[in-house]
Amino acid sequence: MEGIRFFSYTPGKSLLHKIPPSIKVVLMPLLSVLAFVLPAALSLIFLVFCLLFSVIILKFSRKDIISTLKPLIAYFFILEIISIVLNLISEKNTFTLTFYFFLKLLRPSSDFLKLFLHISLSLEISSLFYRTTSITEFNEGFSSVEQFFTRKTATPFADMLSLTITFIPRLALFWQKINYAWKARNGKNSIRKIFILTPILFRVGMHEAWQKALSRENRK
C-alpha cells in the first residue's frame, strides 16, 4: 500500500493464502495468545520458523522482513527501559543508578527475554496472517463467524472489525504522508513535531473513518 509494508497484504498463492478466511480469523487470535504460554525455547524455535517461512515459502522481500523486525526491536528497548526504570525508582544514588541502568540494558534478565520472545512470536504470527489475507477476505471471514453464532444475516460486529483492520495500514500511510510534508518544509524530528502532527493525524483519521462508514452504509 504505497510503500507501507508492515501489516499490509502481499498477494500470493501459498498454502497460507489459500486457507479459508473464516478459519484464518479464528486461528490468528488463538495462535497469537498461544505464543504467550509456550516455553521460551519453543517460542524462539517457532519465531525462527516463521521468519524462514516468510522468506522461503512466502517469498517475502528483505524489506518486508525488515519492516516486521523493526517494531520488535523498538518493543525490546521500550520494554527493557521501562522495566529498568520501574526497578530503580527507589534508588537515590545517581552514579549507581546510571551504572546499573546501562548494565541491565546490556544484560537483560532472563524473565524479560522470555517476555520479549513471546511478544515477538505473537506479533510475527499476526503479521503472517495480515500479509496473506486481504481486507475483503477478513471481512468475509468475520461475517461467516458472526453469522455462524448469531444465525442472522446482518453482521455489525464483523463490519466494525473489518473497518478497524483496514484502519491500521491506512493510519501508517497517513502518518507517512504527513511526515513527508513535514520534512519537505525542513521540519526536524522533535517533540514539537509530535505535538503538531498528531492532531493532524487524528483529524485525517476521523475523516477517513467517517468516509468508510458512509461507503459501507451505501453498499447495503
Whole-number Å distance between alpha carbons of 118 and 135:
26
At 4, the pLDDT band (50, 70, 90 cuts) reads very low
pLDDT at 131: 84
pLDDT at 123: 83
pLDDT digits (tens, 9 = 90+) for 168-194: 667 777 777 888 888 888 888 777 787
Mean pLDDT of the region 2-12: 62
The residue type found at 218 is: N
pLDDT digits (tens, 9 = 90+) for 40-88: 888 889 988 988 888 888 887 777 777 666 666 666 666 666 666 666 5
Write 40-47 long-range contacts (CB < 8 A, 24+): 40/113, 40/114, 40/117, 40/118, 43/114, 43/117, 43/118, 43/120, 43/121, 44/117, 46/121, 47/117, 47/120, 47/121, 47/124
Whole-number Å distance between alpha carbons of 31 and 154:
28
The winner for highest mean pLDDT among 99-108, 114-123, 172-181, 185-194 is 114-123
CA atoms within 13 A on the CB side of 88: 20
**CA angle, 46 then 170 then 77, to 5°:** 45
Cell of 176: 507517512
The model's pTM: 0.66
Higher per-residue confidence, 71 vs 21:
21
Whole-number Å distance between alpha carbons of 120 and 44:
9
pLDDT at 179: 80
CA 67 to chain centre: 10
Whole-number Å distance between alpha carbons of 35 and 29:
10
SS3 assignment for 104-162: HHHCCCHHHHHHHHHHHHHHHHHHHHHHCCCHHHHHHHHHHHHHHHHCCCCCHHHHHHH
